[in-house]
Structure 1
Amino acid sequence: MAYDRPWKSFEEQLELLRSRGLQVSDEQAALRCLERIGYYRLSAYWYPFRVFRHVQDPGTHALTTVRTDEFVRDTHFSDAYELYLFDKKLRLLVLDAMERIEIALRVDAAYELGRSGAFAHLGTEALHAVASKTNRRTGRTRYEEWRSRFDSLLDRSKEDFVEHYRERHGADLPIWVAVEVMDFGSVSQLFSMMKVSALRNIADKYGVPDTRVLLGWLRSLNYLRNLAAHHSRLWNRNVIDQPVLCGPSELEWCDAFIGQPSLVAKPFLLLAIARHMLRALFPETRWAAQVAEHLNHFPRQQSSRKLSLTDMGAPDGWEAWWTRK
């Protein structure tokens, strides 16, 4: 279907929202929001306030639920804007955690692989046999795919230390230097090719009982990091790369999510994983307390449809274990 929606001025955009039932108490403030943030980005935050309709298929008579362009009663422009501000601060808190976790994981990769040699990452000898497994779709091994990504990151790097090292020692960077040009995704992929003994050492450091769980967490944290870094909506997103859970009673806080697919599919679990990893690295960190304080100031809505932390996958009683040491 060809896209045929015309360009609209900010005033026309606001009038369209009003015609659909969105209340605007401060027109100038709403216009400034549209000018600075944009209709499309804000639409992600007023989307939950749109009206549902049940539609019957004329052939099968089956009922389906569709979301209309209309807004539920008493929904205000400020309801969406306050959600946007809440989400913005949440992303900043996530980025703070991801920076510290990512840097620590780089050290972990360098330390464990470095045991086998300074250039252990430039071949598969120091890696698990899975590194040589071929991807049927691409025809390349997992290591070849990772190496292509790493080489691309290295070629694009503008860091002075890369040029300085190459001038003095040659093209190949030792693993403890190479990790500094890797992004979270490439570090996560490198972890997935490590030998079990190395992964076990790292899992023990973070108090994760299963290396499979650790690898699943790293994939999910990379997804979380990318959402926050690209300013994407976070608070109630359906998580694509869902994490692996520990078994019952292996981690007390994790039990709240076992057997709860609707919670596993939401971002609160990813925040809980970040909390766990940070606690292992920095036992005295106040990050969890800062997040709890922010969550407890979830914006109130004037709309007749009330949203809450439940929409982001917070389990009942999460406060009891969230700040516990």
Structure 2
Amino acid sequence: MTQSDGKNKQYNKPWLSYAEQLNILKSRGLIVTDDSKALEYLQRIGYYRLSGYWFPFRQRSELCCILPSNWTGKKLKNHRIGHIALDEFKPGSCFQNAVELYVFDKQLRLLVMDALERIEVAFRVDISHTLGRYGPFSYLEPERLFQDFAQAINQKTGITDHQVWLQKQAQMINRSKEEFIRHNKEKYGLPLPIWIACEVWDFGTLSTLYDGMSQQDQDEISSRYGISNGRVLASWLRSLNYLRNVCAHHSRLWNRNIVDQPKKPDKGEAPLFNQAWQPGQQHILARVFVLLCVIQHLLNTSNPNSSWWLRLKQLLQKFPDLAHIGLDLKGMGVIDGWEQWSWPQTPKDGQ
């Protein structure tokens, strides 16, 4: 048994020069073929950012019982069985491999953000148009929304989730420097009609409002995307919002565990990647490839002529050769046979 690391009461690790950092990596078995380039990367990217990419290169302990950091020797209540990452690297691990994986991950984040921007814009229109038919200020009316969202008091905030959402939107409107926002505020005052207010929403704001819409209105929007159950689409938007936050903060993406996982669509819906939701493939569900498939499914409706999937395919085929340390696209949850997938529309280059 081993005890997991907890928070140190007093941080006692010393400051290290870039050369000292590199020497530590070498002493642990990481191959460095060009010291000057490695030092340049440490200086430009940083040790701890790169450490997320060489973490999979580290050797693992035998299977053991991992104890909580606050264990006092009494009866175990919270523990898990697993492998602990050791300081030493697997044979053949190379500093340049970590850099290549970092560059791949950066390109993946940029590609994902490009798609999420298109989806965000499309859903602003979907939501504002659907609610706007009830009136320009229907988003203020609790009776138009899901009861739990609009009327139930959140025990943490003391107000409804709808009121929390309205506060956030009001802050966005007040902070906005857009000329059309200033013009409408000066000419017509507040509140703004939903088809104008929606232009300040970020992905989290629109996904929260969609989550709070009535089932009927959710289903109407989701049906445009070939999904019969609007609650499934709500889970997709929550997952994509998590994905967007990872990308926006320049965090490691390629093998990240997806905390807020999407729900499975009904049988026959999203058929090209529905196998990713099959029983026994939870390891795939927890990885980013499922969300890349969700993105493509939504782009099929919101931007049907996009070449996004083609560009994604080209990027995935450039994944660094890390077979010598046991890493490949399966770390992303990529499904066998994905290269043969074809989408209904023929993509046009540059879109």
Q: TM-score range by the shorter chain?
A: over 0.9
Tell me the equivalent position of 2:102. 84
**Which of 20, 26, 29 does residue 12 from structure 1 map onto?**
20
Q: Does 1:37 align with 2:45?
A: yes
**Which of 327, 334, 340 does residue 307 from structure 1 map onto?**
327
Tell me the equivalent position of 2:121. 103
For the residue of structure 2 that corresponds to 1:304, the secondary structure is: helix
Pairwise mapping of residues 217-236 of structure 1 onto structure 2 (< 5 A)? 217-236=236-255
User: 1:323, CA displacement in angstroms?
Assistant: 4.7
- Partners of 2:11 and 2:342 lie apart in 1 by 46
- Partners of 2:218 and 2:242 lie apart in 1 by 20
Residues 186-195 or 80-89, more deviating: 186-195
Larger relative contact order (Cα-Cα within 8 Å, sequence gap ≥ 6): 1
Spell out, residue by residue over 1:104-152, the C-alpha distance to the aligned partner (whole angstroms, 9 max, x if none): 1001111011001111112313222232122223222121121122122
Q: TM-score, normalised by structure 2?
A: 0.87
- Partners of 2:246 and 2:326 lie apart in 1 by 25
Amino acid in the other structure paired with 1:7: W
Q: TM-score, normalised by structure 1?
A: 0.94
Count how many residue pairs are aligned between Structure 1 and Structure 2.
323
Tell me the equivalent position of 1:74. 92
- Partners of 2:173 and 2:48 lie apart in 1 by 35
Q: Does 1:286 align with 2:307?
A: yes
Identity over the aligned pairs, expressed in percent? 44
Q: Does 1:52 align with 2:60?
A: yes
Q: Given that residues 288 and 322 in structure 1 are in contact (C-alpha distance below 8 angstroms), is that contact kept between their aligned partners in structure 2?
A: no
Pairwise mapping of residues 219-258 of structure 1 onto structure 2 (< 5 A)? 219-258=238-277
Which 4+ residue blocks in structure 1 deviate beyond 6 angstroms? 57-60
For the residue of structure 2 that corresponds to 1:69, the secondary structure is: strand
Tell me the equivalent position of 1:275. 296
Tell me the equivalent position of 1:170. 189
For the residue of structure 2 that corresponds to 1:29, the secondary structure is: helix
Amino acid in the other structure paired with 2:175: R
Q: Structure 2 vs 1, CA of residues 290 and 168 (structure 1 numbering), >3 Å: closer, same or farther?
A: same
Q: Structure 2 vs 1, CA of residues 9 and 256 (structure 1 numbering), >3 Å: closer, same or farther?
A: same
- Partners of 2:203 and 2:177 lie apart in 1 by 18
Tell me the equivalent position of 2:337. 317
Spell out, residue by residue over 1:204-258, the C-alpha distance to the aligned partner (whole angstroms, 9 max, x if none): 1111121111000000111111111111110000011111111333331242112
Tell me the equivalent position of 1:127. 145
Q: Structure 2 vs 1, CA of residues 279 and 250 (structure 1 numbering), >3 Å: closer, same or farther?
A: closer
Unaligned segments of structure 1, at least 5 residues: none
For the residue of structure 1 that corresponds to 2:14, the secondary structure is: coil
Q: Given that residues 215 and 231 in structure 2 are in contact (C-alpha distance below 8 angstroms), is that contact kept between their aligned partners in structure 1?
A: no
Tell me the equivalent position of 1:201. 220
